Amino acid sequence: MHDFKHRLNLLKGDRTIKEFSKMLDIPVSTLHYYLNGREPSLSFLIRVCSKLNVNEEWLLNGRGPIYRTEKEHDILEDLCELFSKFLAEKWKVWDTKEKIFFEFLVKRLFPDFERWLADKF
């Protein structure tokens, strides 16, 4: 995780922790944990890549360019939109057990799922 901490500090640059946390829309304390070496959550990694247009491969293991190309960004946006449409359709027809199972899995991987769900339904 030391390398991740270094890459995150590179992205932070000269910004204060408060400025950088505002840019990422996360609490200062959360960013502070990650800058001090705490293992990041999947939702945090996704947030950094999305908000800063960072290449996932670079953020995770230091390989490739720091930023995504416009084409890569468009593909990711398209995938997110397709997944959102798929889920919106399935959510209407899934029974309670299916919804609970899906929520359980997704909440573990994506803590922001609950907010998304509230916004959509």
* 25-46: pLDDT as tens digits: 999 999 999 999 888 888 898 8
Check pLDDT > 60 for residue 1. no
Domains and CATH numbers, the chain: 2-61 (1.10.260.40), 70-120 (no CATH)
- Tell me the per-residue pLDDT of 81-116, one tens digit each, with 9 for 90 and over: 787 788 888 888 999 998 888 878 877 777 666 666
Check pLDDT > 90 for residue 8. yes
Q: Reduce the secondary structure of 35-70 to three states and give it as a string.
A: HCCCCCCHHHHHHHHHHHCECHHHHHHCCCCCECCH
Q: What is the pTM of this model?
A: 0.58
Burial call 23-46: b when 16+ CB within 10 Å, e when fewer: ebebeeeebeebeeeeebbeebbb
